[in-house]
Amino acid sequence: MPTIDDFQKLDIRVGTIIAVEDFPEARKPAYTLQIDLGSEIGIKKSCAQLRKNYSKEELLGRQVLCVVNSPPRQIGPATSEVLTLGVPDATGECLLIVPEREVPLGGRMY
């Protein structure tokens, strides 16, 4: 069973999506996101299967939670530098985990 120490090893931060592009090379419909995680971490890229629930316009400017200390993951021709967090909806498609209110960029989840 994971301990609180195990959980605290994950560095989960809030960022704002500043760019969204189609990712046609992905096996499932996806976007590539540029996420501003504040001055300490900077802008990072994430690949996410969000096209079933979100348009590019809906994502732009949205705050999201990201794991920033996982190793980069190669997804086809793109590298995903952070893991954008979500949960499955009733059909198994991703819904983003987002702060209830706008918060400062780079804030760490606790």
Write the single-letter amino acid at 105.
L
CATH class for the region spanning 4-96: mainly beta
Show me where the domains of the chain are located.
Answer: 4-96
pLDDT band at 96 (very low <50, low <70, confident <90, very high): very high
Question: Under a CB-based contact definition with an 8 Å cutoff, are residues 64 and 15 in contact?
Answer: yes
* Overall average pLDDT of the 12-17 stretch: 98
Query: Residue 2: what pLDDT?
Result: 87
- Taking the model in full, what pTM does it have? 0.94
Provide the total of helices (H) and of strands (E) in the chain, helices listed first: 2, 9
Q: Decide: helix, strand or coil at residue 4.
A: helix
Show the tokens assigned to 8. 């605290």
Which residue bears the tokens 């995903």? 80
Q: Which residues neighbour 19 within 8 Å (Cβ) at sequence distance 6 or greater?
A: 33, 34, 60
